[in-house]
Chains A and B, each alone.
Chain A
Amino acid sequence: MHNIITIAKREIKSYFFTPVAYILMTIFLLITGWFFGSELFLVNEATMRNIFALTPLIFIFFIPAVTMRSISEEKRSGTIELICTSPVKDSEIVLGKFFAAFSLLVATIFSTIIYVIILLILGKPDGGVIVAGYIGLLFMGSAYASIGIFASTISKNQIVSFIVSFFIIMVLYLLDKFMYFIPTWLGSILQYISVDYHFQNIARGVIDSRDIIYYLSLIFVFLFFAWNSLTKRKYLST
């Protein structure tokens, strides 16, 4: 636990050494702010619906951009040797990296609280839906982050890491978008593995254990892949 925190702390600091974190958070707030404003003033509705609809899409770019450096950069610069030869388990490295990304994710998501405050001042938003929406975003974002961490273990080139995680997330996102063309039995399988389907369920205000279990398994599976791939340095040449 102690090692995980040490690794995560250093990683979080390093986000803010490069402009990536600032740029991403600014862009995120600009886009969500724009849609929030237009809904509030043009449609005159006090909801977070637009933000909850938009954020999963923004995250498809945002999270791979956050996680792409995490292990790739350590491999490129060789600092991976430094941490892997100190008494730290590979699993602790992966978890440390994951929790760092998770922290930035939490900070980003909760920067939108300001919109909720505006809503509370101006109208009567549905509190339950908003809380559920945030929970959904957290789980979904964490799942994306675990995919991003995995992708960053497979190459020392962060662009490759970005593309791989972007691609995996994109596929998982789009799975339930082409339901009309396929048989129903296949459709329901695809739906079950689609990340967006579960988010939509939660965002409706119903927190079902099946959706939570889905996200937790996704996180577990990709963190396991990440661990496996990091341990593989031992057998592969890169």
Chain B
Amino acid sequence: MIKVQNLTKDYGHLRAVDNISFTIPKSGIIGILGPNGAGKTTTLKMMTCFMPPTEGTVFIDEKNIYQNSVEIRKMIGYLPEGCPIYTEMNVVDFLYFIAELRDIPKDSVNRRVKEMIDSCGLEEVVGKEIGELSKGYRQRVGLAAALIHDPEILILDEPTSGLDPNQIAEIRSLIKQLGKEKTVLVSTHILSEVEAICERVIIIDRGKIVADASLEEIQSSFHNQNRIYFEIQSKKDADILPEFEAIKGVESLQLFSKHEEDMITKFFINYSKDMDIRPELYNFIKKNKDWTILEMRTEQHSLEDIFRQLTEKGEEVAHA
């Protein structure tokens, strides 16, 4: 169990982390989300005992970062931002070095290193110098190093930054796998990442927590409305929008774009969550023979919108 209490960090006059508190009970993947400079890395550095807070403390299973720093470090696997590793070492040497630092017993070192090479998919690069590896492989070496002592808690600072989509997908599935038995804390400023892997998300902005809830809770608390996107081609007249106002349940219409020549209109319909207007809509459009539906899809209010709302308001939003 991780308990972060009133964590605060000042860099000179700059308050990078401002009185942050949260608790993580047991296993699962928790996202720490925030724009650049929000204080994510700073928070993680304090949790991993790299530097102490200006105020506040972190408990991990009743141990705290001041008195039990070494024990806490033993329980945590940490992938720092940018994945710093000794570029002049080769992969195996590096893993053995970390294994030694992590006090892995002599008789199980070989086995552990081998397991890491397997589970992080490093077979192809074992003998290579780390400086020559692609970013994706480098990141995997970093992960292997963070995992080698089989920590209960894994803290990953922007683990997929700078990777190509394939590599991102691989790392994410690896993280998901790990989240089944470990507590994984992932910092990121990419929303889709949180949506893809996290069960719970803590959003911070300018050093403060602005939301802390499960992914669904956050999404649904901002979803009083549903939204449908339409792309309709009309045979007669491009000005079709007003006709939709008559439909019961429609709360607002929002024009996206209108192409006069081919008479295509693209627009959104917002409607109340309590009422499903889709059958009604379908019947309405079917009646009108001049219209061809080119596209129709339900739109979620994206986490993007939520994030922007939360971080731009810059004020405390009710914790869930």
Show the binding face of A for B, using Cβ within 8 Å: 2-3, 6-7, 10, 13-14, 17-18, 77-89, 233-235, 237
Q: Tell me how far the C-beta of B227 lies from the nearest C-beta in chain A, rounded to whole angstroms.
A: 43
Question: Could you name 26 residue pairs across A and B whose Cβ atoms are closer than 8 Å?
Answer: A2-B100, A6-B100, A7-B101, A10-B89, A13-B89, A13-B93, A77-B84, A77-B86, A78-B81, A78-B84, A79-B84, A79-B86, A81-B45, A82-B80, A84-B49, A84-B50, A85-B48, A85-B50, A85-B76, A86-B73, A86-B98, A87-B71, A89-B70, A233-B50, A234-B51, A234-B52
B34 to chain A, nearest CB (A): 20
Nearest to B47 among chain A residues (CB) is: A85
Complex-state Cα separation, A85 to B69, whole angstroms = 9
With contacts A77-B86, A82-B80 known, what are 19 further pairs, Cβ within 8 A?
Answer: A2-B100, A2-B103, A3-B101, A13-B89, A13-B93, A78-B80, A78-B84, A79-B85, A79-B86, A81-B78, A81-B80, A82-B98, A82-B145, A83-B101, A84-B49, A84-B50, A85-B73, A234-B52, A237-B11
A52 and B89 CA atoms in complex are apart in Å by 36
Q: Which residues of B contact A78 (CB under 8 A)?
A: 80-82, 84
A233–B9 alpha-carbon span in the complex (Å): 13
Residues of B within 8 A of A (CB): 11-12, 45, 48-52, 70-71, 73-74, 76, 78, 80-82, 84-89, 93, 97-98, 100-103, 145
B12 contacts which chain A residues (CB < 8 A)?
Answer: 237
- Residues of chain B with a CB closer than 8 A to A17's CB: 88
Chain B residues in 8 Å Cβ range of A237: 11-12
Known: A10-B97, A87-B74, A237-B12. A82 touches B84 (CB 8 A): yes
In whole Å, how far is A10's beta carbon from the nearest beta carbon of chain B?
Answer: 5
* B45 (CB) vs chain A CBs: closest residue: A81
Interface centre among A2, A82, A237 (most CB of B within 10 A): A82
Minimum CB–CB distance for A37 against chain B, Å: 36
Across the interface, name the chain A residue whose C-beta is closest to B48: A85
Q: When the two chains form their complex, are residues B45 and A86 in contact, meaning their CB atoms are under 8 A apart?
A: no
With a cutoff of 8 Å between Cβ atoms, the chain B residues found around residue A3 in the complex are: 101
**Looking across the interface, which residue of chain B has its beta carbon closest to that of A84?**
B50
- Bound-state Cα–Cα, A237 to B12, Å: 8
Does B88 lie within 8 Å of A14, measured CB to CB? yes
Query: Closest CB of chain A to B23's CB: distance in Å?
Result: 22
Q: Decide if B97 touches A6 in the complex (CB within 8 Å).
A: yes
Instruction: Give the distance to chain A from B153, nearest Cβ to Cβ, in Å.
Output: 12
B49 touches A85 (CB 8 A): yes
> What CA separation (Å) do A125 and B231 show in the bound complex?
99
CA distance A148 to B81 in the complex (A): 29
CA distance A88 to B48 in the complex (A): 13
Give the complex CA separation of A7 and B86 in angstroms.
12
Report the minimal beta-carbon distance from A143 to chain B, rounded to whole angstroms: 28
| Separation of A83 and B50 alpha carbons in the complex (Å) | 9
Give the shortest distance, in Å, between B140 (CB) and chain A (any CB): 15
Tell which of A2, A6, A10, A81 touches B84, judged by Cβ atoms closer than 8 Å: A81
